[in-house]
Copies of this chain bind each other. A is one copy, B any other.
Amino acid sequence: MLNDVLSTIDARKHQSLTALKEFLSIPSVSTKPDHKPDMLRCATWLADQFKFGEFTASVMQTPGHPIVVAKNKHVPGRPTVLVYGHYDVQPVEPLELWTTPPFEPTVRKDENGFDAIYARGSADDKGQVWCHVEAGLAWQAHGGMPINVTYLIEGEEESGSDHLEAFVKHYAGDLRADVCVISDTNQFARGLPALTYGLRGLAYAEIFITGPDHDLHSGLYGGAVPNPANVLCELVASFHTDDGRVNIVGFYNDVLDPTPTERALWTDLPFTEDAFAKSVGIPHGNGEAGYTSLERKWARPTLDVNGITTGYQGPGAKTVIPSKASAKISMRLVPSQDSAKIQSAFEQAVKNRVPKNCTVEVKWFGASAPVLVPIDGQATQLAAEALRQGFGTEPTFMREGGSIPVVGMLKRVLGLDTLLIGFGLPDDRVHSPNEKFDLDALHKGTRTCAALYEQLSTFGS
């Protein structure tokens, strides 16, 4: 039966692309209030596609943008799979850097000569959502899928998924499943599809240091009072040792080293330090001593400044000792660090290190847990087989340095493990001008989703 489904997908390549262009032409920018009508239009369009394939589909209201929920006919006794994705997209600014308009999807060759579709959301995440929809429709055309599938496609991923958790809690019974699938990650490289089995977690703080109770003239007072801007720099500098390690008591206590199997796997990947450095415009990378760049990105925790505000920032000179200085600081966490323990160790370090004649406050912007799924787990191996069938090549296993908070939320609320099976390429420029999605990835991704629905029919048995 899968062969028939794959043949249908192969035969419908052109129609699939045409439908995706419609999807991409709706400017569903979730953060911009003036796109609110587009959000509803986009959700409705998506629900209609499911309905064409005899799925039940609803556009569900939330206090924010609607969520699309679609199901095939659920049959008791079969595994149930929750497919999560998002139909909202990032803002498009700066518009002048786009070669073709972001909401006029255009097929052309990319820099390496491969056909790709250029549009905002093409890779993140409409193109990848579309792989699942098209695969589901192909199965429906052949009598239906061998599993129960629930699609949960939200419209607020790019603006913080503010209403998703409450929604999932409210509809927990309807959304119950055995495993979750998310296609919102990348292949390791073009032609080297990958299962992402690890993510880093995140703890994001903002630190506010106050010295004198008003801005002072740096001539009249300089040298005799604490300068919060200098204090902030000294605090931030204290967070790393000379060998690039994070200098907070207990920070590395729970860090798991990659296994020898993982290290061997990563060594074989087509990754060179030179190409990596060149891709970001630096002569060479740097970080924690004793690790490769891949290890630093995937398996080592970090502490990075994301922004600093203090004093005079206009043109020219102003001789002010600022009363306040603040920094946004994010820590990426790896298995099995616990974000609450790290937050507490960080706060303790901050409080110990700021001089007693300044005050300091720490504010947190949420936290997400690191994710690590065993490579040899059943779901992972079934997904690897689906990639083999979809791409016709041997997939690899990779981790990713970013965080996908919904993974932790679904684990916490529904007890679900998530398979991360993504089809993007590292140079797709998600969140940037000229976002694209490789047409080969679109086609083989769709085949992979179809194969995955069959593979997962044996899940849990």
> Which chain A residues have a beta carbon within 8 Å of chain B's beta carbons?
200, 202, 204, 206, 211-214, 216-227, 229-230, 232-240, 276-277, 280-288, 293-294, 296-297, 300-302, 304-313, 316-322, 325, 327-328, 330, 332, 355-358, 365-366, 400-403, 431
A238, B237: Cα distance in complex, Å = 9
A223 & B287 in contact (Cβ 8 Å cutoff): yes
A233, B233: Cα distance in complex, Å = 4
A296 & B332 in contact (Cβ 8 Å cutoff): no
A280 & B214 in contact (Cβ 8 Å cutoff): yes
Q: Closest Cβ of chain B: how far from A242's Cβ, in Å?
A: 10
Contact for A233 among B222, B302, B305, CB less than 8 A: B305
For A202, what are the chain B residues with a Cβ–Cβ distance below 8 Å? 219, 319
Q: List 25 A-B contacts (CB under 8 A).
A: A202-B319, A212-B280, A214-B280, A218-B302, A219-B400, A219-B403, A221-B280, A222-B297, A222-B302, A222-B304, A223-B401, A226-B282, A234-B240, A282-B357, A282-B358, A283-B356, A284-B357, A306-B318, A306-B320, A307-B312, A308-B308, A308-B310, A309-B309, A317-B330, A319-B330
B224 & A287 in contact (Cβ 8 Å cutoff): yes
Contact for A281 among B212, B297, B366, CB less than 8 A: B212
For A302, what are the chain B residues with a Cβ–Cβ distance below 8 Å? 218, 222-223
B225 & A282 in contact (Cβ 8 Å cutoff): yes
The 5 closest A-B pairs by CB, nearest first: A213-B281, A219-B402, A307-B311, A237-B237, A229-B305
A224, B284: Cα distance in complex, Å = 9
Chain B residue nearest to A355 in the complex (CB)? B286
With A200-B219, A305-B310, A311-B305 in contact, is A357–B234 under 8 Å at CB?
Answer: no
B332 & A223 in contact (Cβ 8 Å cutoff): yes
7 additional contacts (CB under 8 A) given A229-B327, A230-B236, A232-B233: A202-B319, A222-B302, A234-B237, A286-B355, A286-B357, A306-B312, A306-B319
Q: Closest Cβ of chain B: how far from A404's Cβ, in Å?
A: 9
A288, B236: Cα distance in complex, Å = 21
B288 & A223 in contact (Cβ 8 Å cutoff): yes
A220, B428: Cα distance in complex, Å = 13
A206, B312: Cα distance in complex, Å = 11
A356, B284: Cα distance in complex, Å = 9
Chain B residue nearest to A237 in the complex (CB)? B237
Contact for A306 among B311, B365, B431, CB less than 8 A: B311
For A318, what are the chain B residues with a Cβ–Cβ distance below 8 Å? 306-307, 328
Q: Closest Cβ of chain B: how far from A271's Cβ, in Å?
A: 11
For A306, what are the chain B residues with a Cβ–Cβ distance below 8 Å? 218, 229, 311-312, 317-322
A237 & B233 in contact (Cβ 8 Å cutoff): yes
